[in-house]
Homo-oligomer: A and B are copies of this chain.
Amino acid sequence: MLKIRMLVAAIMLASSVSAVQAWDSLPSKAPAPTNNPTTTEKVELGRMLYHDPRLSSTGTVSCASCHNTMAGGEDNRAGSMGVNGQVGGRSAPTVWNAAFNTVQFWDGRAESLEAQAAGPVTNPIEMGMKNWDQVVTRLKAIEGYQHLFTKAFGKDSISKDNTTKAIAAYERTLITPDSPYDYYVNGDQSALTAQQIRGMEKVAELGCTSCHSGAAFNGAGTFQKFPVNDNGYFEAKFDFKKDKGLAEVTKKKKDEHFWKVPTLRNITLTAPYFHNGSVKTLKKAVAIMAKLQLNKDLSDNEVADIVAFLHALTGKFPKQIMPELPATPGLTFNK
């Protein structure tokens, strides 16, 4: 079941300006669900599965292909490219700090990282596996994975459930603390420039942080309407409303154009912007958000201040050893 903490956008926006703004730094660990506690063995297995293109029909697409762990956690494309060059309709969200989202996917249709991880593998235009039975059969044929699953979950444990649990456990380690913003709110006054501080005050004053709230600037899983205000010019140019967001899943009128609030952390690394990746630059994205969500026309200086602040949300990426994927010696699954 989809747990939706739906808040009426209008109320939030009205109350935000006067609200006392709390500024939190990113926790150094992400919470794990009780049925999937994070262990070293799961994380190591998950790191391999996440980077293994054999989880796709063509053997060319891994989770990392669209959610690149060597970059901003996504692919810097408007629509991601799955198997056989097929292009999806939404821009890949970043995997960095996804552990702090309480729902996953742009439309929030998955209630956990585990549930999210199950999706793309069998999506025909993403990783294109026929079904999870096929994935499990393939993984079982890889001797190294048999050992690694045994270590992580016990004997004969290769399954859809445990595959997604391992991937999710790995993803919970993909967090980026120690951004200039984090240093600043932890007391280092010199961590932000004067312009960044102006931008920080501006995002609170405007109400951006009413929705992009909390340490991850992601509203902790709240859904919000986008766009709030109709704008024929932007709509003609960027086609924001073509995709009905949550309503594409629920088929309910009241869910039309509702979206999970995406994190602002590392946002400078995740161009192009919005669910359809139609906006190429961050400064344009900021101006559009102000207009469509808050009905504000920002000056160039205000936009520049906010963009400067958003730069301060780029954190430190954990050093990772490149996984060595277990082999199927002397044979291949791929065509």
**Counting CB contacts under 8 A, is A83 at the interface?**
yes
Cα–Cα distance between A86 and B58 once the two chains are bound (Å): 12
| Chain copies in complex | 2
Q: Which residue of B lies closest to A82 (CB)?
A: B85
| A62 (CB) vs chain B CBs: closest residue | B70
Shortest beta-carbon distance from A81 to chain B in Å: 5
Please, which residues of chain B bring their CB within 8 A of the CB of A70? 51-52, 322-325
> Known contacts A60-B75, A317-B324, A325-B71: does B85 contact A331 (CB below 8 Å)?
no
User: What residues on B are CB-neighbors of A335 within 8 Å?
Assistant: 77-78
Is A28 on the interface with B (CB-CB < 8 A)? Answer: no
Interface centre among A59, A76, A317 (most CB of B within 10 A): A76
A327 contacts which chain B residues (CB < 8 A)?
Answer: 71-72, 268-269
Q: Which residues of B contact A85 (CB under 8 A)?
A: 81, 83-86
Query: Is there contact, CB below 8 Å, between B280 and A332?
Result: yes
Partner of A331 from the list B59, B282, B320 (CB cut-off 8 Å) is B282
Nearest residue (CB) in B for A322 is B320
| With contact pairs A83-B85, A334-B77 given, residues A321 and B324 touching in the complex (Cβ less than 8 Å) | no
| Dominant secondary structure at the A interface | loop
Given A60-B65, A321-B322, A322-B69, CB of A76 within 8 Å of CB of B281: no
Interface residue? A330 (CB, 8 A): yes
Give the residues in chain B near A83, CB-CB below 8 Å: 85
Cβ–Cβ contact B75 & A59, under 8 A: yes
Does A214 make an interface contact (CB < 8 A)? no
- Residue A254 interfacial (CB < 8 Å): no
Cross-chain contact A268 with B330 (CB below 8 angstroms): yes
The reply to whether the CB of A116 lies closer than 8 angstroms to some CB of chain B is: no
A76 touches B332 (CB 8 A): yes
Contacting residues, chain B, for A75 (C-beta < 8 A): 53, 59-60, 334
CA distance A72 to B280 in the complex (A): 36
In the complex, residue of chain B having the shortest beta-carbon distance to the beta carbon of A48: B70
B59 touching A280 by the CB < 8 A rule? Answer: no
Closest to A334 in B: B77
The distance from the CB of A309 to the nearest CB of chain B, in whole angstroms, is: 12
Q: How far is the CA of A332 from the CA of B319 in the complex (A)?
A: 24
A–B Cβ pairs within 8 angstroms, 24 of them: A51-B70, A53-B68, A58-B77, A59-B75, A59-B77, A60-B75, A68-B325, A70-B322, A77-B332, A78-B335, A83-B85, A85-B85, A85-B86, A268-B330, A269-B327, A269-B329, A272-B332, A281-B330, A282-B329, A282-B330, A283-B330, A317-B324, A319-B322, A321-B321
